[in-house]
Structure 1
Amino acid sequence: MPDPVRLHVCANCPGSGWDRLRAALEDAGLPVALQPTGCMNGCAEPVALALQGADRATYFFTGVDPEADVADILATVETYLAADKGWIADARPCGRLRFCLKGRVPAL
């Protein structure tokens, strides 16, 4: 199983939907740590969310609804974990989140 990754959700954005998202991640058994994070500068389109892991690409999303988009968030995490170095070549499994992507940074 891949090393755990972090799913950062902006703690400053209104409607961050922590409880449902945390429960869904736990139920799915994914090796993901949900991390409340201060402002990630996605204020124009809340909620901001970032996905990162050691030796993996980092993804930054805005305009995410952690409650309504829970299925797409889980699908994105699964796709990320399965991708070589976290580099998602085909984002269609990510559902609506592929349209919320604002940046992707390669691993160091």
Structure 2
Amino acid sequence: MSKHVLFVCKSCHRGSEELPEGQPADGTILLDKINNLCHKEFSSDEVEIQPVGCLWACSQGCVVSVSSQDKPTYLFVNLSPEESAAALIEFMQLYIKSRKGNIAWEKFPEILRSAIFAQIPPVATTKKSA
């Protein structure tokens, strides 16, 4: 079983104003909440939380990507650091249980339905013959 990875942009911040000195970015707040919930729900060999400096969607608020080998990658944007962590954990449970990682939009947690930005197909793995 391959590990499922949740990439969380820790520098994301909603709004155009600059952060006051010493205040964490919204992405860092979301990352902390996801880490707290994830450790309660999953084993470390099932899910890896990968903080990243930037996911190149700075104008899109908090950004998270869900990925695993041989499954599509999902990109979520405009996430609320206060409300999205539990929904992302719920989505991860669906994603892990799905053999191919295809989650019907109707099964997405309500808060993530408007946050889905892309579903990227898995990279095809081909076996080379000798």
Place the TM-score, normalised by the shorter chain, in its bin.
0.7 to 0.9
Aligned to 2:127: none
1:20 aligns with 2:33: yes
TM-score (ref. length: structure 2) = 0.74
Write the distance in 1 (CA, Å) between the matches of 2:88 and 2:6.
10
Moved more, 89-98 or 44-53: 89-98
Q: Deviation string for 1:2-50 (max 9, x for gaps)?
A: 4221100112212122222101000012521111112212211210100
**RMSD over equivalenced CA pairs, Å:** 1.6
- Map 1:57-76 → 2, pairs under 5 A: 57-76=72-91
Amino acid at match of 2:95: Y
* C-alpha contact 2:105 2:113 (8 A) present in aligned 1: no
Q: Deviations over 1:35-77 (max 9, x none)?
A: 1112212211210100001111100110112432122111110
> Runs of 5+ in structure 1 lacking a partner?
none
Shift of 1:82: 1.6
| 1:55 and 2:70 are equivalent in the alignment | yes
Whose Rg is larger? Answer: 2
Identity across matched positions, percent: 24
Q: Is the 8 A contact 2:8 2:65 kept in 1?
A: yes
With over 3 angstroms needed to count, the CA separation of the structure-2 counterparts of 1:74 and 1:44, relative to structure 1, is same
Letter in 1 for 2:26: G
Query: Does the aligned pair in 1 maintain the 2:34–2:86 contact within 8 Å?
Result: no
Q: Give the structure-1-normalised TM-score.
A: 0.87
Q: Which amino acid aligns with 1:9?
A: V
Q: Give the secondary structure class of the aligned counterpart of 1:84.
A: coil
